[in-house]
Amino acid sequence: MKLLYQILAAGTLAVLATGCKDETPNYGQTGGGSSETVGYVDLNGLSPQVLLDAEINQTPAQTTAAQTRAVTEATPDYLVRIYNSSDECVLDTTYGDMQSQFNDGPEQNLLALPVGTYRLEVHSQEPSSVPDVEWEAPTYGTTYDFAVLRSHTSDSPLTIADEVICKLSNIKVTVSISADLAELLGDDTKSTVTLGSAVAEFTKSESRAAYFRPQNSDGDTLEFKLTGTKDGKPAELSKTITGVKAGQWRKIMLSIVYAETGDIKIVVTVDSFVQDSEITINSTESLWEPELDEGTDRPTLTWPGHDLAQPVALDESMYDPSGTFNGTAPALTLSAADGIQTLLLGITSDNAAFRTEIIEAAGLTDVDLCGTISRLHPFYGLQVTAGATEATIDLKSIMYLFFGYDGSHTLTFNMTDNKGRNAVATLQFNYGKGTAGEDPSIVCRQFDIDQPHTTQTGDEIDVDIKTASGIQAFVVSIISETLNEEVLAAVGLRPTFDLCNITDPEELAALTSDDIGFPVNDDVKGQTSMTFSVTKFTGMLSAFPGTHQFKLAVTNAEGSTTTKTLQLIVEQ
């Protein structure tokens, strides 16, 4: 592997481009391939469902109210496309045309494709035509990974059905002002929300939603600005909302709360995160005093290296039979520049048994971690010293609570500092569903595989793969600007390879060398559980600063595919 390090030091770069070709749907045909190289997909049962962006049941009195959403079948104009592993479009049609094709006869229900991995995309609108921002204009879409195998014959094709759910693909934003606050503001009051160059302007009484097109897959930033007048004087308030992603509804709500002194707080609530500014009202001062503190030093709760907005997937494989958690629990960092006064922690859940047997039985609602907690209480190990400006809250001691209770369980942290500034943060655990509950499942032992991870030589990075029916394909794609095709080829590797089917001697030697150490062939194919370790590979990555992605697509014997991307960052 010395040659690889020489090439890495040279920093050779290559730019590869892929296109999309328009192909006629290959229904009922082999496309020239033999039965050894072609598999069949039955799309007759494909009926994309749309999770509509409309609340059916919401309790207005609750900030984070439970809600359900209407599900309906996609309309005929929905776009249906299939891309191969080279990102080439091999099927480009509409849901309506596809249904018409099926109606021509049973023999037209099959789509012949070369054996390999594919990505199905369904869109309510051409993605490139979605406006940067538009009123009441939701768009929907989804992607679904699958693999075509030799075993998918015309008599036993792969069936895609009841698994394609289209969700909101843009960002919904609403702005509302409480009635009592609205009375204090002039009629010229307006709010603007900006994402990049896209701007939506909300009047004081605007009830419509603005839908923004996401610009960055890693998250966007919304800039909120309210301007108006109070007693003829200019008034202005600005806030920045980070980590905004497709599919989210960002509710921006402005209201006031009253103190016993007669003063008020203007509270800006964004989803479950509250930012506030304390402002005094009397006969001589304006509602908007520019020198007053707007709460920029409000308490914060973060999970270093992770996004609190992303749910944490759990399943029974992370516990021993007694319920002891064996994984890496979140360790949260509390920061309060003026000292923390109260930190209320509570748990909510969509599992009725968990609510009765855990939350109610143990009293896990609004427990002040800064107060006195009994040694017998589950939150005893989470205590924070009142007045502290920094603290670590390691959740390891409470992970046992979720063992065996399927569903979503949400921790809510309500923080108030010594100046009365308040903020709320939430963290959701999904037990028995999501990443850890999939089959195949792909779970990293050391950190959340869905989040970027900064690494260095010798870091332990172990990805556990599990599937009940056995692994049929394990395709690894290395995506990096610097660790490119030319660099990999010099040491016998390709950017994409199937660990179940390594036949080239040079590639086999490279993958199993002491510098890489990946499992291959019989150590992968047919296995119901295995570990894909990148620990040795970190030595190679350390010579090449930048971002390196390992796209892992695991297909089981039933043809189900799970895809996860391990994103490793090597700093300069």
SS3 assignment for 449-470: CCCCEECCCCCCCEEEEECCCC
Q: pLDDT for 161-192, tens place per residue?
A: 656 888 889 999 998 887 777 888 888 889 99
Give the mean pLDDT of 267-294. 38
* Domain range 438-570, CATH class: mainly beta
Give the mean pLDDT of 309-328. 83
Q: Both tokens of residue 262?
A: 């007669």
Give the mean pLDDT of 260-287. 42
Look up residue 295 and give its DSSP letter. S
Q: How far is CA 197 from CA 16, 225, 420, 461, in A?
A: 30, 15, 36, 39
Question: Residue 283: pLDDT above 50?
Answer: no
Residue 475 has φ and ψ, to the nearest 5°, of -95, 125
Give the mean pLDDT of 10-23. 34
Q: pLDDT for 123-160, tens place per residue?
A: 999 999 999 999 999 999 988 888 888 888 888 888 87
Residue ranges of domains in the chain: 38-168, 171-295, 312-431, 438-570
Q: Work out the mean pLDDT of the chain and round it to a whole number.
A: 78
pLDDT of 178 reads 79
Give the mean pLDDT of 279-284. 32
pLDDT of 277 reads 34
Q: How far apart are CA 280 and CA 292, in angstroms?
A: 9
Residue type, 558: E
Q: pLDDT for 196-251, tens place per residue?
A: 999 999 998 888 999 999 998 878 899 998 888 766 677 777 888 888 888 888 88
Q: Both tokens of residue 474?
A: 């394990």
Q: Which residues of 509-533 are buried (b: 16+ CB within 10 A; e: fewer)?
A: ebbeeeebebbbbeebbebeebebb
Look up residue 45 and give its DSSP letter. T
pLDDT of 63 reads 34
Q: Which residue has the tokens 């010798």?
A: 458
pLDDT of 242 reads 81
Question: Residue 436: pLDDT above 70?
Answer: no
Q: Residue 108 — very low, low, confident or very high, per pLDDT cuts 50/70/90? A: low
Q: How far apart are CA 478 and CA 537, in angstroms?
A: 12
Give the mean pLDDT of 300-304. 91
Q: How far is CA 436 from CA 100, 406, 449, 562, in A?
A: 38, 12, 11, 11
**pLDDT: which is higher, 238 or 438:** 238
SS3 assignment for 92-156: EEEHHHHHHHHCCCHHHHEEEEECEEEEEEEECCCHHHCCCEEECCCCEEEEEEEEECCCCCCCC
Give the mean pLDDT of 385-392. 93
Q: Residue 536 — very low, low, confident or very high, per pLDDT cuts 50/70/90? A: confident
Q: Which residues of 384-421 are buried (b: 16+ CB within 10 A; e: fewer)?
A: beeeeeebebebeebbebbbebbbbbbbbbbbbbbbeb
pLDDT of 29 reads 42
Do the beta carbons of residue 522 and residue 529 sit within 8 Å?
A: no
Do the beta carbons of residue 417 and residue 299 sit within 8 Å?
A: yes
**pLDDT: which is higher, 552 or 451:** 552
Q: pLDDT for 43-72, tens place per residue?
A: 777 778 877 765 433 333 333 333 345 677
Do the beta carbons of residue 537 and residue 442 sit within 8 Å?
A: no
Q: How far apart are CA 533 and CA 541, in angstroms?
A: 14
Question: Residue 289: pLDDT above 80?
Answer: no
Exposure on the CB side of residue 5, measured as CA atoms within 13 A? 10
**pLDDT: which is higher, 364 or 448:** 364
**pLDDT cut 70: percent of the chain above it:** 80
Q: How far apart are CA 253 and CA 424, in angstroms?
A: 14
Question: Could you tell me the maximum CA-CA distance found in the chain, to the nearest angstrom?
Answer: 87
pLDDT of 8 reads 32
The side-by-side arrangement of strands in the sheet containing 529-533 is 441-444, 462-466, 529-533
Q: pLDDT for 324-377, tens place per residue?
A: 888 888 999 999 998 999 999 999 888 888 988 899 888 888 899 998 888 888
Exposure on the CB side of residue 162, measured as CA atoms within 13 A? 0
Do the beta carbons of residue 53 and residue 173 sit within 8 Å?
A: no
pLDDT of 68 reads 43
**pLDDT: which is higher, 40 or 238:** 40
Residue 243 has φ and ψ, to the nearest 5°, of 70, 30
